[in-house]
Structures are given as structure tokens and as C-alpha cells.
Amino acid sequence: MAKTKTKFACQACGYESAKWMGKCPGCNAWNTMVEETETTVKHRGISSPLSIKKEKATSIIHVDTASEPRIYSPYHEFNRVVGGGIVPGSLILVGGDPGIGKSTLLLQISHALSSQQLKVLYVSGEESVKQTKLRADRLGALSEQLYVLCETDMQAIQEAIDQVDPDCLIIDSIQTVYEPAVASAPGSVSQVRECTGILMRIAKMKGIATFVVGHVTKEGTIAGPRLLEHMVDCVLYFEGERHHTYRVLRAVKNRFGSTNEMGIFEMGEQGLREVSNPSELFLSERPMGAAGSTVMASMEGTRPVLVEIQSLVSVTNFPSPRRTATGFDHTRLSLIIAVLEKRNGLHLQHHDAYLNIAGGVKVDEPAADLAVAVSIASSFRDAPTRPYDVVFGEIGLTGEVRAVSRVEQRVNEAKKLGFKRVILPEHSLKGWKPADGIEIIGVRTVSEALQVAFD
């Protein structure tokens, strides 16, 4: 006998309530409580086929630690982000803005894996089979081992999985899939949670590497309950400006690798192409000898990347000057400007300050502070720095320059691209030997850095 119960669930965090509320107590979001109907069916003596096989508790000393072989794709940038390769039986969530290239990336990876004689099942709930074939023709992603299915019913998808028995499964997207036993609309909290739970059990039991595409909200986070990100093994974000050709793949959660890695791809007519040297890409259009332009050595996981920081300081006509930053923390920019005013005598209180990380890159590490300060001072004084200088270091509130990590890798990347001088914290000179052919200058304060940069 089926029993129907009505509840209200928050579409942002999954909080459930027996009555409607304007403000969710779980995440403090307004107007996110949606009415859902939940139907529960009592099973008499019937056990789920997924729970027939039970495991016994084992002493941790006797657990076999033999590493499971990973699935390597021809895309080294993708392998870097997922931790060295795809782990069989893992559940990976891929999020990104609409039209950024999530389906293109997964279709190209599907073709690459199927070319290695691995069975891949691509389930699309947003495109028909013919539309997927047209996309595959454009990308050149045609393979006998690549199976395509247009379906949103979770039971039909399970039947297709049993029939094909794939090594890799792709669901595009989880917001379009529904479980008939759950009386809620596709994309609701109950449907997303239930369908993800089914996919997780299938992936773990059958050892199928599963990719799930998730929509994002206007704030840039993955839509649906926060529980969705906790259930999966890896969360990948596919980022980039739609007006730029490159795309950035980041891991914000990874149970099988680091979360600091970054993969760079370039979008073209034939799909995505991986970029092996992103520093050359970001500095390809850099103006030489322009005031306000500074090169900074950033670390993205284990990879050093050189990016250009551009600043524009102009006299304001308003009582309150503007502080605008693109690709950099706005609060951090205000802090650096305050240090330049208080400790270095730069009167910026009557000037607007605009900061941009060229190419649309996002830099969030403190090592960018010194390069931002030099860039702002260069634009304020209208005096360009040397075109072959690289600057990095963290700035304290008293005007000191603090040490940063992985200094040797940053310097080697600058030397490889032909830069002649590096300005860095003096405390970072310990424990490593500078390479020949590049000048290393250590500074203790921001004043010293500005004096060296404009000497």
C-alpha cells in the first residue's frame, strides 16, 4: 500500500520542512522552499538486489593495499586534474556555465576512451541521438565502442547499463534524469539525491567510471542540494570566459588526487585542444614597456604559470574612488592599496583603481600581492617596469614582504620563458640554489621592491 506525504524542500541545500517558509533555516536563502510529494511503498520481505552481497568487517592490517590501475586518457591536462587518471568505479561530477563546453569535453574524452577498446555509454537527456551524432561528426568523435542513448528515465538507463556493460558511463545531465518511484519533478532535490545515489551504487558495485554533468546557479555553484557534492568522489569545474578561446578545468574535490591542479584547454572549431604551456598563451598578447603591466609567477597545483597583471589608476570625479578587480579578490586589492598609501606614500585616495588578470585567469594565492602592488604603482607613476621582470611575494599590513612556497619552480618557469630578473621575498632565498642565467633579487619590504622595480 503506497502512502503519500507532502513536504517542502529547499532547492539550494536540501533542507526539508513540513510547512512552507519564506526563508530556509538551513542556508538562509529566500523563496527556495518548493512543495514535493513523497510516496513510500512498504516492501514485504523483498530485499534490494544491490544489498544482497554483504561484506564483513576486516582488520585494517589485513586490507589489501594493491593500487587499482587507473584509466589514462590521451589528454594529459585532464589526467593531471583527476589525479593521474580515471579511477574505475569513481563518480565524478562536472559543473560549469551553460555553453562553456562540458558536453564537448566529455564527448571527446568518451571518444578517446573508446579508441582504447573501452566501452563507453553516453546518456544524454538534453540532446537527441541525432543531435549527439552531429556533434560527434564535428569533433571527429566516432567509434564503434561509443554507445549513445537519449533517455531520462533512471530505470531505462539501468537496463541500458546492464545491456551494454560499459567501462565508462556519462550522464548529461543529472538535472534531467528522474526516478519514477519518486513523485517529484526532474531536477528537484529528491530526484537529484535519489538518482545520484543509484548511480553511486552502480559505479561502486560494477566498477564503472561514471561522469555526471551538473548545472550551475547564477552564483556559480552547482545546482541542487549540497549533499550532491558530498556523495561524489570528485568535483570538477569547467571555467572560462565565453569571449575567450581557452577553458580552465579545476578540481575542487578529489578523493584520489590533489585539488590544486588545473588543466588548460583551448576551444576551436574541432573542439577542445589541450594547452601544454599555458604561460606562453597568457603572455602572448602582452604589451612591452606599458605602464601598469607586471608579470607574476603563480602556482596552480604543481604547475607554475606566468600571468600578466594589468592596472589602471586614474583621477576620480566622485567622492568615493572605485576599486574594481577582475580575476583577483576585491578585498585583497583594497588591502594592498591601503598599504601603498600608508607605508609608501602613494596618495591613491583620489584615484580610481582598476585591476585585471589578463586572459580572464583567476589568481587567489597571496603570492600575487607584490606584483599587484608594483603594477598599481607603475600605473600611478605612469612609469613602466622592465619588460623582462617577474615579481611575486605576499604583503603584510606593516609593509613587509613575506615568503611564499615553491620558489624554485617559479624561477625556473620564468627562466624557461626568457625572463632576465626575478623580484621575490628575501626569506624565500633559503634552501635552494638559484639557476644560472637569471638575476635573483630578494626584498624585505614593499618600498625596496618598488625601488628595485623602477630603478
In the prediction, which pLDDT does 2 show? 55
In the prediction, which pLDDT does 44 show? 43
Q: CATH for 71-276?
A: 3.40.50.300
Q: Which residues of 281-299 are buried (b: 16+ CB within 10 A; e: fewer)?
A: bbbeebeeeebbbbbbbbb
In the prediction, which pLDDT does 39 show? 59
Length of the chain equals 455
Q: How confident is the model at residue 399 (pLDDT cuts 50, 70, 90)?
A: very high
**Nearest to residue 120, comparing CAs of 112, 130, 131?**
112
Pairing of strands 421-425, 439-443: parallel
Residues 6+ apart with CB under 8 A from 347: 341
- Residue 276: cis peptide before it, omega within 30 degrees of 0: no
Task: Tell me if 378 is assigned to a ligand binding site.
Answer: no
Residue range 111-138, pLDDT digits in tens: 999 999 999 999 999 899 999 999 999 9
- Residue type at 279 in one-letter notation: S
pLDDT of 306 over the 90 cut: yes
Residue range 201-219, pLDDT digits in tens: 999 999 999 999 988 776 6
pLDDT of 226 over the 80 cut: no
Task: Tell me if 99 is assigned to a ligand binding site.
Answer: yes
Task: Tell me if 96 is assigned to a ligand binding site.
Answer: yes
In the prediction, which pLDDT does 391 show? 96
Instruction: Tell me the CATH class for 281-453.
Output: alpha beta
Residue range 357-396, pLDDT digits in tens: 987 788 989 999 999 999 999 999 999 999 999 999 999 9
Q: What percent of the chain has pLDDT over 70?
A: 91
Among 5-9, 97-101, 290-294, which stretch is predicted with the lowest mean pLDDT? 5-9
Per-residue CA distances from 273 to 108, 247, 353, 375 (Å): 10, 10, 36, 32
Residue range 47-76, pLDDT digits in tens: 444 444 566 888 888 877 666 689 999 999
Residue range 400-444, pLDDT digits in tens: 999 999 999 999 999 999 999 999 999 999 888 887 889 999 999
pLDDT of 198 over the 70 cut: yes
In the prediction, which pLDDT does 432 show? 87
Task: Tell me if 102 is assigned to a ligand binding site.
Answer: yes
Highest mean pLDDT: which of 113-127, 209-223, 229-243, 272-286? 113-127
Q: How confident is the model at residue 152 (pLDDT cuts 50, 70, 90)?
A: very high
Q: What percent of the chain has pLDDT over 90?
A: 56
pLDDT of 43 over the 70 cut: no
- Residue type at 358 in one-letter notation: A
Q: What is the mean pLDDT of residues 336-355?
A: 94
Which string of DSSP letters, residue by residue, matches 345-364?
----TTEEEEEEEGGG----
In the prediction, which pLDDT does 189 show? 82
Task: Tell me if 98 is assigned to a ligand binding site.
Answer: yes
Task: Tell me if 100 is assigned to a ligand binding site.
Answer: yes
In the prediction, which pLDDT does 50 show? 46
Largest CA distance in the chain: 84
Angle subtended by helix axes 446-453 and 330-344, to nearest 10: 90
| Cα–Cα dist 197/194, whole Å | 5
Burial of residue 31, with CB atoms counted within 10 A of its CB: 0-12 exposed, 13-18 middle, 19 or more buried: exposed
pTM: 0.76
